[in-house]
C-alpha cells in the first residue's frame, strides 16, 4: 500500500553513533553507520521505493539513557532534538519527530518534553528503556515514584510515550552468561521491555492517568502472546493482589498501549496481536536502519489481513494517535 507511516525509525548523531556498533558484524558497520547518519537521501529513497509516506523519527539506542550524568544526558538529548527539529523542518510532510529525554532526572525530562512538544512540534517521546543515573550500575525504571510529575505532564501534553528496548546491564544479565547471541533483538530486548511495561501497568500509573498511551515495538515485545496467562495463572486459587493497580493487566494493555510491527514481520504474530489488542491499536513500523524498509513493506503489503485493517495499521491509526497533519 502507499501512504504507510512508520513510528520506529531511527537516526544517530555523531555523539550517539557508536551505541549502535556491535549490533551487526564488523563488515556491516560501514553500511549501518551510513544509514544512521543519513536523513534526507538514502532514507527517502527507501521510503519512496516502498510506499512509505512518513517516518516519525527517533534517536538510536541506548544513547541518552546510558549517560549516567543527568546534566550530560540532558545536553545530548537537547542536541539530538534540535538536530532532529531542523531535519523535520526540511520535509515536514515526510518526517516528524519523537523527543529523546534525559530520564536520569524527571524534572529535566519534563522540561525537555515540554520544549519539544510546545516549541519544536514533536509528536511524543521515544525512550530507550531504563536510565542509568549517577553510576552505570544504578538503573531506574519509570514506575518509580520520582516520575509521578513527569507522567502528569505526558498526560497533560496528550502525546504518546514510546518505550523502546535496550540491553540489560551486565550485572543484571546473568541468565545470558555464555550466550551473547541472546542479547539484543534476538531475546533480551523483548524481555527487558516487556517487564518494564508490566511494571508500569502494575504500579497504578494508568489508574492515575487513564489517558496515557504507551507504544511498544516489535509486535508488543511478546506481551500479546502472554497477556491472558499474566491475568489468569492459577485461577482456582484466590490470591490477594500484591500490586497497587486496580484493573487487570489485559485492561491496561487494551486501553493504554499501542504496539508496532517494527522488526517483527510475521503474519501469524500479527494475527495473534490483532486478536489480543485489536487492529485499532497496531501501527506499521520498520525499525530502520536495523531492519530493511523493503522487508517490512513487502511483508505488510501482502499480509493476509483485510484491506480495512491494512489501511488502519499502515496509516490511519498513526495519523489519529499522533494527530498528524496529512
Ligand atoms: Mn528500534
CA of 289 to the centre of ligand 1 (A): 8
Ligand 1 midpoint to CA 254 (Å)? 22
Looking at residue 190, what is its pLDDT?
98
Per-residue pLDDT, averaged over 147-169, amounts to: 98
CATH of 4-230+244-321 given 3.40.50.300, 3.20.20.140, 3.40.1690.10, 3.40.50.720: 3.20.20.140
Single pTM value for the model: 0.98
Q: Which residues contact 168 (CB under 8 A, 6 or more apart)?
A: 176, 188, 192
**What pLDDT digit, counting tens, does each position of 20-72 carry?**
998 999 999 999 999 999 999 999 999 999 999 999 999 999 999 999 999 99
Neighbours of ion ligand 1 (CB under 5 A): 8, 287
Outline where 115-258 has alpha helix (H).
148-157, 188-202, 205-208, 223-232, 249-256
- Residue-level pLDDT at 276: 98
For the chain, domain boundaries: 4-230+244-321
- DSSP class of residue 67? -
pLDDT of 239 over the 90 cut = no
Residue 218 and residue 263 in contact, taking contact as beta carbons nearer than 8 Å? yes
pLDDT interval class at 288 (50, 70, 90) = very high
- Look at residue 1 in the predicted model and tell me its pLDDT: 97
* Contact (CB, 8 A) for 122 and 116: yes
228 CA → ligand 1 middle, Å: 26
- Asked whether the bond before 70 is cis by omega within 30 degrees of 0, the reply is no
* DSSP 3-state percent helix, strand, coil across the chain (nearest 5): 50, 15, 35
Average pLDDT over residues 230-254: 94
Give yes or no for residue 228 having a pLDDT over 90: yes
**Which tens digits make up the pLDDT trace of 213-223?**
999 999 999 99
State the distance from the centre of ligand 1 to the C-alpha of 164, rounded, in angstroms.
6
Q: Would the pLDDT of 12 be above 90?
A: yes
Count of CB atoms situated within 10 Å of the CB of 217: 26
What is the rounded CA–CA span in Å between residue 5 and residue 10? 14
List the one residue out of 94, 106, 113 whose CA is nearest residue 51: 94
- DSSP letter at 167? P
Whole-number Å distance, alpha carbon 62 to ligand 1 midpoint, is 10
Distance from residue 292's CA to the centre of ligand 1 (Å): 12
What does the pLDDT average to over 200-215? 98
Q: Please answer whether residues 130 and 65 qualify as being in contact, where contact means their C-beta atoms are separated by less than 8 angstroms.
A: yes
Percent of residues, the chain, with pLDDT higher than 70: 100
236 CA distance to ligand 1 middle (Å): 40
Could you give the residue numbers annotated as active site?
A: 287
Sign of the Cα torsion 189, 67, 126, 326 reads negative
Question: In sequence order, what E strands does 261-309 have?
Answer: 282-283
Q: What is the pLDDT of residue 187?
A: 98
- What confidence score (pLDDT) does residue 318 get? 98
Does 265 have pLDDT greater than 90?
Answer: yes
Beta strands in the chain (DSSP E): 4-11, 52-59, 95-99, 124-127, 131-132, 139-140, 161-163, 214-216, 257-260, 282-283
Ligand 1 centroid – CA 252 distance (Å): 23
pLDDT tens by residue, 104-144: 999 999 999 999 999 999 999 999 999 999 999 999 999 99
**Cα 108 from Cα 125, distance rounded (Å):** 14
Q: Decide if pLDDT at 241 tops 90.
A: no
How far, in Å, is the centroid of ligand 1 from the Cα of 245?
A: 29
Q: Report pLDDT for 99.
A: 99
- Rounded distance from Cα 59 to ligand 1 centre (Å): 9
**Residue that has been written with the C-alpha cell 516549541 in this structure:** 119
Amino acid at each position: 500500500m502507499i501512504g504507510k507511516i512508520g513510528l520506529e525509525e531511527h537516526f544517530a548523531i555523531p555523539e550517539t553513533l557508536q551505541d549502535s556498533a556491535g549490533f551487526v558484524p564488523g563488515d556491516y558497520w560501514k553500511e549501518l553507520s551510513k544509514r544512521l547518519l543519513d536523513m534526507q537521501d538514502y532514507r527517502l529513497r527507501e521510503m519512496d521505493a516502498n510506499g512509505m509516506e512518513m517516518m516519525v523519527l527517533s534517536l538510536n539506542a541506548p544513547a541518552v539513557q546510558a549517560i549516567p550524568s543527568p546534566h550530560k544526558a540532558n545536553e545530548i538529548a537537547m542536541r539530538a532534538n534540535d538536530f532532529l527539529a531542523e531535519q523535520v523542518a526540511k520535509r515536514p510532510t515526510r518526517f516528524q519527530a519523537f523527543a529523546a529525554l534525559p530520564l536520569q532526572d524527571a524534572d529535566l525530562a519534563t522540561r525537555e518534553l515540554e520544549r519539544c512538544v510546545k516549541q519544536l512540534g514533536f509528536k511524543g517521546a521515544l525512550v530507550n528503556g531504563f536510565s542509568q543515573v549517577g553510576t552505570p550500575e544504578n538503573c531506574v525504571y519509570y514506575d518509580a515514584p520520582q516520575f509521578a510529575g513527569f507522567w502528569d505532564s505526558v498526560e497533560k501534553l496528550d502525546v504518546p510515550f514510546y518505550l523502546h528496548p535496550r540491553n540489560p546491564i551486565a550485572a543484571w544479565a546473568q541468565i545470558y552468561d555464555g550466550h551473547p547471541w541472546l542479547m539484543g533483538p534476538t531475546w533480551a530486548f523483548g524481555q527487558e521491555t516487556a517487564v518494564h511495561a508490566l511494571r508500569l501497568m502494575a504500579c497504578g500509573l494508568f489508574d492515575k492517568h487513564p489517558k496515557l498511551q504507551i507504544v511498544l515495538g516489535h509486535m508488543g515485545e511478546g506481551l500479546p502472546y502472554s497477556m491472558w496467562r499474566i491475568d489468569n495463572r492459577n485461577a482456582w486459587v484466590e490470591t490477594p493482589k500484591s500490586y497497587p493497580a486496580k484493573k487487570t493487566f489485559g485492561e491496561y494493555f487494551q486501553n493504554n498501549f499501542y504496539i508496532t510491527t517494527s522488526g517483527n514481520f510475521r503474519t501469524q504474530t500479527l494475527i495473534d496481536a490483532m486478536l489480543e489488542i485489536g487492529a485499532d491499536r497496531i501501527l506499521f513500523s520498520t525499525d530502520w536502519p536495523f531492519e530493511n524498509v523493503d522487508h517490512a513493506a513487502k511483508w505488510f503489503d501482502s499480509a493476509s489481513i483485510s484491506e480495512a485493517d491494512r489501511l488502519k495499521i499502515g496509516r490511519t491509526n498513526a495519523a489519529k494517535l499522533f494527530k498528524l497533519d496529512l
